[in-house]
A = this chain, B = another copy of it.
Amino acid sequence: MPRYRTIGVIGGMGPAATADFLARLVALADAASDADHPRVLVDSNPNVPDRNAAARGEGPSPGPVLAAMAEGLVAQGADLLAMPCNAAHGWAGAITAGPFVSMIDAAVAEAMAHAPRRIGVLAVGATLALDLYGKASQVPVLAGDLAVVQPAVTAIKAGDRSAVTRAALAGAAERLVVDGAEVIIAACTEVPLVLGADDVPVPLVDSTAALARATLAAARLSG
Contact = CB atoms under 8 A, between A and B. Distances in A.
Contacts of A20: 23
Contacts of A27: 16, 159
A179 interface: no
A38 interface: yes
A55 to B, nearest CB: 16
Contact of A2 (B31, B47, B76): B47
Interface residues on A, range: 35 or more
Interface of A: 2, 9, 12-16, 18-20, 22-23, 25-27, 29-47, 72, 75-77, 154, 157-159
A45 B38 CA distance: 8
Kindly report how many copies of this chain are found in the complex they form together: 2
A75 B77 CA distance: 12
A32 B34 CA distance: 34
B47 A35 contact: yes
15 contacts: A19-B22, A19-B25, A27-B159, A30-B159, A31-B158, A32-B158, A33-B157, A35-B46, A35-B47, A37-B44, A38-B46, A39-B44, A41-B43, A42-B44, A75-B75
B37 A12 contact: yes
A93 B197 CA distance: 47
Contacts of A35: 46-47
A16 B35 CA distance: 12
Contact of A34 (B15, B31, B42, B72): B15
B157 A34 contact: yes
Contact of A39 (B2, B12, B23, B37): B12
Contacts of A14: 34, 37
Contacts of A34: 12-15, 46, 157
Contacts of A72: 76-77
Nearest to A2: B47
A97 to B, nearest CB: 13
